[in-house]
Amino acid sequence: MKKYRQRICLRQSNGFTLIELIVVISLISIIIFVSVPRFRNETLPDNTKKVSRWIMLTSQSLKEKSFCDQKLYTMHVDMESRRLWVTDEFMSEEEVIKSGQKGFMIPDDVEALDVEFPGNNKIIFGMASINFYADGYSDMALIHIKDNDDNYLSILIEPFLSKVKLYEKYSGFEG
């Protein structure tokens, strides 16, 4: 009889029951179901984020570069050809044209609405130019972009700060 009890105890401690396995698999499935979409949204950038990141990083870089190189750089925003590019004051006419052709292409699902400067100076059509001066400052400008889902972003380039601010709405200098 004693030997029979030892076998029963050994059998019960050797594995998991079917209910325990179902509960664990269900919990893991729920965790994956909840976390994967959130992880995907954070790690895979959409086109609006790509455009805003390009503007922000390029602006920060140009402030430093203009001061180090002691020359004027200009960021061009062309609303009609849907391009963003950079030139400097010593480029030839041919180099400026090449730079415009090789510039950052704004994806089809994102639109550069306008570039706003202080004093109700807003450029809606054509090309806007934001200057980055050799003294380490820049023009103050707001670049407004919109995606197909009517999500607006306003990117503020401040004259004396190296950081660029991002607002997840359409905001202007007035208000």
Residues 6+ apart with CB under 8 A from 100: 76, 78, 81, 83, 85, 87
In the numeric block, the tokens 């044209």 are attached to 97
Distance CA 130, CA 137 (A): 11
pTM: 0.72
Closest CA to 109 of 154, 51, 166: 51
Dihedral sign (CA 74, 75, 80, 82): positive
First to last CA, the chain: 88
Helix or strand run (H / E) with residue 38: helix 18-43
Residue 141, beta-bridge partner list: 157
Low-confidence ranges of the chain (pLDDT < 50): 43-44
SS3 102: coil
> In the prediction, which pLDDT does 44 show?
41
Are 54 and 61 spatial neighbours (Cβ–Cβ below 8 Å)? no
Amino acid at 51: V
Closest CA to 142 of 106, 170, 100: 170
Helix or strand run (H / E) with residue 106: none
CB contact burial 99-125 (16+ within 10 A = b; e otherwise): bbeebeebeeebbbbbbbeeeeeeeee
> In the prediction, which pLDDT does 175 show?
58
> In the prediction, which pLDDT does 43 show?
44
| CA-to-CA separations, 28 to 16, 90, 140, in angstroms, rounded | 16, 60, 50
> In the prediction, which pLDDT does 34 show?
76
Q: Which domains does the chain have, with CATH numbers?
A: 2-43 (no CATH), 47-167 (3.55.40.10)
